Amino acid sequence: MTAQEHAMWVGGEALPASRMYEVRLPYDGSVTARVAEGDAASLEAACEAAQVGAGSMAALSNAGRSDLLLRAAGLLQRDVAEFANLLTLETGKPIKEARVEAERGYQTLVASAIAARELAGEAIPIDGVPAGRGRLAITIREPLGIIGAITPFNLPLNLALHKVGPALAGGNAVIHKPSERTPLTAIRLAQLLHEAGAPAGAYNVVTGSGGEVGQKLVTDARVRMITFTGSAAVGKLIRASAGLKRVTLELGGNAGLIVDGDADLDLAVERAVPGAFLYSGQICISVQRIFVHESVVEKFTNLFLAATAKLRIGHPLDETTDIASLISEEEARRVVTWIGDAVACGATLLAGGQRTRATVTPAILANVPPSAKMSCGEVFGPVVSINAFSDLNAAIDAVNNTPYGLQAGIFTQNLERAFRAARRLHAGGVIINDIPGFRADNMPYGGVKESGVGREGPRYAIEEMTETKLICWR
Ligand code: NAD
């Protein structure tokens, strides 16, 4: 395979850089692309271009922005195969998962187009207080201007679209810094938006390191908001250096799933196995901790082991592959040490956990104590724990007993127990009779505690990406 060269995208055209770096397929280390490495000067060029782009976007009507996003959605649908291929080359995820991500990107763009059409202020009942007598008041929503988007490696296209779609829908320009490990689909997306008719400077992609390009984006006064998805550690750094900018943070998780005694076990296993091991567990709402009622834990565990054994490990471009690799060999080594830590704390390793280069076989742990890293941290790898419970309230407490709270799930046929869990689980979303990894691209999505601040889903993100202006008429 010859590695193609990719420039950045700024002001409606390709922006080269003096330095290039290599993107490698983590599965076998082969070089898949050579990419321009941006720096502070590239970011400066992007800020200047985005100022122009913000003016052009603000001048479009809601319908005009919606139509732009619909044209982009149509082009993405046309080019799904190409985007899926790029996704696999940059992330190393299996091609069939990459295709799902590209198809979801279409849905995110359509949902953003709808959000643009429906963007509205409200009439304020201002004479409900004495001071408002004789006045009419309405609010309108105005764009913020330039929005900085910083994204992680694991879903480089759809997570970017969850920022770019609503930002453009709200009439803003975007400067996007993708993960240095996965810049390819962002650059291709910029070309696609250009083809769809996006004004020059509306969407700019600057590659490069978090420390240099990311930090300049976070601290530049022209950038009015940072929308970040990534680790809690980097999220805290960004929050601390963003000053008075608006900041939304979609951070990590270690999702807990409860399987009650009356649950449909076949369905629970059918959903929880991919929920734990898709993209080698490198999804923020991957199922990491499963709590199963003691009356069915043995049966559930056996079904889970059998279904996991059927997963095929192989090259990510092979259509039959379920598990390819983690993002790097270093990450694979870390995951193996976390499994060792759980075992040292008293857990039993029932299957998996062997590493070859960046690949780790799907690992299933039983009886993991709360003190293990697996119970409280984010493993971000193909590892799941199965613990038994007798009392539902104690299982809910166990799910809650972590610094994170992105989404949680429960399988049960009992309405009272389902809604007790839904009310008591401390998470941004609770999924009944499905896995915490469930996400439809138009629903509100985000975390509590160290899982983040703010909500995505185009209709919700557009609220965060626009300003309320009051107009009051005497
Ligand atoms: P990361 O935090 O290491 O990097 C994310 C992005 O931040 C990258 O683009 C990186 O270059 C940039 N960055 C790093 N340091 C920076 C700095 N000082 N200033 C500005 N930008 C900086 O995350 P990752 O390893 O790429 O992704 C994995 C993490 O993302 C996991 O914790 C996962 O849970 C989380 N994640 C969360 C969600 C969600 O929706 N909540 C979705 C996907 C991934």
Which residue of 37, 153, 287 sits with most ligand 1 atoms within 8 Å of its CB, as the best mutation to test the pocket? 153
The token duo for 122 is 């409200």
Q: What's the confidence (pLDDT) of residue 360?
A: 98
Sign (positive or negative) of CA dihedral 395, 397, 401, 403 = positive
User: How far is the C-alpha of 86 from the C-alpha of 401, rounded, in Å?
Assistant: 38
β-bridge mates for residue 250, sequence order: 229, 452
- Whether 231 lines ligand 1, by a CB cut-off of 6 Å, is yes
**b/e map 72-105, b = 16+ CB within 10 Å:** bbebbeebbeebbbbbbbbbbbbbebbbbbbebb
Per-residue pLDDT for 107 more than 90?
A: yes
Residue predicted with more confidence, 3 or 260: 260
User: How much of the chain exceeds pLDDT 90, in percent?
Assistant: 99
Q: How far is the CA of 240 from the centre of ligand 1 (A)?
A: 15
Count of beta carbons in the 10 Å neighbourhood of residue 126: 17
- Report how far apart, in Å, the C-alpha atoms of 17 and of each of 20, 42, 47, 193, 259 are: 7, 8, 16, 22, 52
Q: How far is the CA of 228 from the centre of ligand 1 (A)?
A: 7
User: How far is the C-alpha of 227 from the C-alpha of 147, rounded, in Å?
Assistant: 7
User: How far is the C-alpha of 77 from the C-alpha of 102, rounded, in Å?
Assistant: 8
In the set 37, 180, 250, 450, the catalytic residue is 250
**342 close to 374: Cβ distance less than 8 angstroms:** yes
- Whether 378 lines ligand 1, by a CB cut-off of 6 Å, is yes
Cβ-proximal residues to 356 (8 Å cutoff; 6+ apart), any chain? none
- Whether 154 lines ligand 1, by a CB cut-off of 6 Å, is yes
| H-assigned helices in 60-133 | 62-78, 80-91, 95-118
- Whether 38 lines ligand 1, by a CB cut-off of 6 Å, is no
Q: Residue 323 has what DSSP assignment? A: B
345 is catalytic: no
- Whether 214 lines ligand 1, by a CB cut-off of 6 Å, is yes
Q: State the average pLDDT over residues 463-472.
A: 98
Q: State the average pLDDT over residues 36-55.
A: 98
Q: What's the confidence (pLDDT) of residue 3?
A: 78
76, 116, 66: which is closest to 99 by C-alpha?
A: 76
Reduced to 3 states, what is the DSSP secondary structure of residue 266? Answer: helix
Per-residue pLDDT for 1 more than 50?
A: no
Tokens 């941004």, located at residue:
428
User: How far is the C-alpha of 10 from the C-alpha of 200, rounded, in Å?
Assistant: 8
Per-residue pLDDT for 324 more than 90?
A: yes
What are the backbone angles phi and psi of residue 156, rounded to the nearest 5°? -65, -25
User: How far is the C-alpha of 187 from the C-alpha of 165, rounded, in Å?
Assistant: 15
* Average pLDDT of every residue of the chain: 98
In the set 37, 47, 180, 284, the catalytic residue is 284
20-24 vs 31-36, strand pairing mode: antiparallel
At 174, which helix (H) or strand (E)?
Answer: strand 173-177
Q: How far is the CA of 68 from the centre of ligand 1 (A)?
A: 29
User: How far is the C-alpha of 132 from the C-alpha of 128, rounded, in Å?
Assistant: 7
The token duo for 364 is 């299933």
User: How far is the C-alpha of 418 from the C-alpha of 410, rounded, in Å?
Assistant: 7
Report which ligand 1 atom has the smallest distance to the Cα of 237. 18
User: How far is the C-alpha of 25 from the C-alpha of 4, rounded, in Å?
Assistant: 13
Q: Residue 213 has what DSSP assignment? A: I
**194 close to 209: Cβ distance less than 8 angstroms:** no
Q: Residue 388 has what DSSP assignment? A: E
Q: Residue 198 has what DSSP assignment? A: P
| H-assigned helices in 196-328 | 215-219, 232-241, 265-277, 297-309
Which residue of 91, 104, 154 sits with most ligand 1 atoms within 8 Å of its CB, as the best mutation to test the pocket? 154
**396 close to 427: Cβ distance less than 8 angstroms:** no
Q: How far is the CA of 253 from the centre of ligand 1 (A)?
A: 12
Which residue of 87, 180, 284 sits with most ligand 1 atoms within 8 Å of its CB, as the best mutation to test the pocket? 284
Q: How far is the CA of 230 from the centre of ligand 1 (A)?
A: 2
User: How far is the C-alpha of 384 from the C-alpha of 288, rounded, in Å?
Assistant: 5
User: How far is the C-alpha of 183 from the C-alpha of 179, rounded, in Å?
Assistant: 6
Q: State the average pLDDT over residues 29-38.
A: 97
Q: How far is the CA of 424 from the centre of ligand 1 (A)?
A: 29
Count of beta carbons in the 10 Å neighbourhood of residue 64: 13
- Whether 186 lines ligand 1, by a CB cut-off of 6 Å, is no
Q: How far is the CA of 453 from the centre of ligand 1 (A)?
A: 14
- Whether 229 lines ligand 1, by a CB cut-off of 6 Å, is yes
Q: How far is the CA of 252 from the centre of ligand 1 (A)?
A: 9
**195 close to 201: Cβ distance less than 8 angstroms:** no
Sign (positive or negative) of CA dihedral 309, 314, 318, 323 = positive
Per-residue pLDDT for 417 more than 50?
A: yes
Q: How far is the CA of 267 from the centre of ligand 1 (A)?
A: 32
Residue nearest to atom 20 of ligand 1 (CA): 214
Sign (positive or negative) of CA dihedral 239, 254, 381, 431 = negative
Report which ligand 1 atom has the smallest distance to the Cα of 250. 41
284 is catalytic: yes
Which residue of 39, 153, 231, 247 sits with most ligand 1 atoms within 8 Å of its CB, as the best mutation to test the pocket? 231
Per-residue pLDDT for 395 more than 60?
A: yes
Q: State the average pLDDT over residues 150-178.
A: 98
Q: What's the confidence (pLDDT) of residue 2?
A: 58
Report which ligand 1 atom has the smallest distance to the Cα of 155. 43
Per-residue pLDDT for 388 more than 80?
A: yes
Tokens 């734990």, located at residue:
276
Q: State the average pLDDT over residues 190-202.
A: 98
Q: Which of 2-16, 249-263, 310-324, 347-361 has the lowest mean pLDDT?
A: 2-16
- Whether 208 lines ligand 1, by a CB cut-off of 6 Å, is no
- Whether 177 lines ligand 1, by a CB cut-off of 6 Å, is yes
